[in-house]
Amino acid sequence: MIEVQQLRKQFGQLVALDGLTFNAPEGQITGLLGPNGAGKTTCLRTIYGLLKADSGKALIDGFDASEQPLEARRHIGIFPDKFGLYERLTAREQIAYFANLHGLTGAQGDQAVSTALARLDMLAIADRRARGFSQGQRMKVALAQSIVHSPKHLILDEPSRGLDVMSTRILRDLLRELRSQGTSILFSSHVMQEVAALCDQVVVIAAGKVAAQGTTEELCALTGETALEEAFVKIIGTDEGIAA
């Protein structure tokens, strides 16, 4: 379970997070929906402890990443906003690097890497160096890195960027499968359809605050609209920075 309590974060004059509170329970996919610049990435970075909140806290299984960063990070898989690959390493080596860092070494590590590769349908490119990988292939490597240690929590920052239809399907199937295994999944997106198709719970954030929270149906009911997109526009009061 990921708990975010009253997070506040300010960069100079800019208030990025303004008392953000929500939960991402186990066995559920929680979507963080918001326009560009709403504070999604800042929120996720604060959860895994790269940014320090001015006040409030974020707990991963009860561990505060700002106080026990290593303990907290052991329990999460991260697909960050920016991910770069090591061009001179093969896909398998990159994924193995992260497996090793999570304590999976030797045969255990090899096994975990192979499982992750198979799960994302990457065996064909597993032993190729990352130089020359397509955007979709890069996304897959980054995804595999985030799930190779079978984390209990998965945090993804806009995971479907640049994926083709087939890859998007693989991603969705993967997330559903992980959900059924009890993983708590938190992902940010500004793509409405994706959120509508996947999420059990949607947290709409705008200007660093939770504007609304609930299932797709609840949000629609709340605003009296039938489509999530309309509901969303109504909630945040503008259609700026949203992709349908």
Partner 1 sequence: MITQIRIVWLKELKDALRDKRSVMAAMSYAFFGPLLMAGAFFLLISQLTSEKDVEIDIRGGDYAPALVQHLNNLGIVERSEPWPAGKQPITLDIDASWAEYIATAQPAKVTLTADFSAQKQRADIRRVETAVSSYAQQLGVIRLQMRGIDPNAMRGIDLVKQDTATKGSRAAIMMGSVLVFMLLSVFFSGMNVAIDISAGERERNSLELLLSQPLSALQLVWGKTLAAGSFAIFGGLLSVILIPLIFRYLPLHEIGISVAIAWPMLLLILLTLVPLAFLATAMQLFVSFRAKSFKEAQTYISLVLMVPMLAVFGVEFARLKNQLLYYLPLTGQHQALLDIIKGESIQWLPLGVSALVTLLVSYILIRLIARMLSSEKVVFGL
For binding to partner 1 (CB under 8 A), which residues are involved?
Answer: 11, 45, 48-52, 69-70, 73-74, 78, 80-89, 93, 97-98, 100-103, 105, 142, 145
Strands 184-189 and 29-33, sheet pairing:
parallel
Cα distance between residue 57 and residue 66, in whole Å: 8
**Minimum separation from the CB atom of position 38 to partner 1 (A):** 18
**Minimum separation from the CB atom of position 51 to partner 1 (A):** 5
Cα distance between residue 36 and residue 62, in whole Å: 29
Measured from the CB atom, is 131 or 176 closer to partner 1? Answer: 131
Measured from the CB atom, is 71 or 121 closer to partner 1? Answer: 71
**Minimum separation from the CB atom of position 159 to partner 1 (A):** 13
Measured from the CB atom, is 40 or 234 closer to partner 1? Answer: 40
Sign of CA dihedral 39, 41, 47, 49: negative
Q: Is 171 left (phi over 0), alpha (psi -120 to 50) or beta?
A: alpha
**Minimum separation from the CB atom of position 224 to partner 1 (A):** 40
Cα distance between residue 86 and residue 96, in whole Å: 12
Cα distance between residue 205 and residue 180, in whole Å: 26
Measured from the CB atom, is 26 or 81 closer to partner 1? Answer: 81
Strands 14-24 and 76-79, sheet pairing:
unpaired
Measured from the CB atom, is 151 or 219 closer to partner 1? Answer: 151
**Minimum separation from the CB atom of position 86 to partner 1 (A):** 6
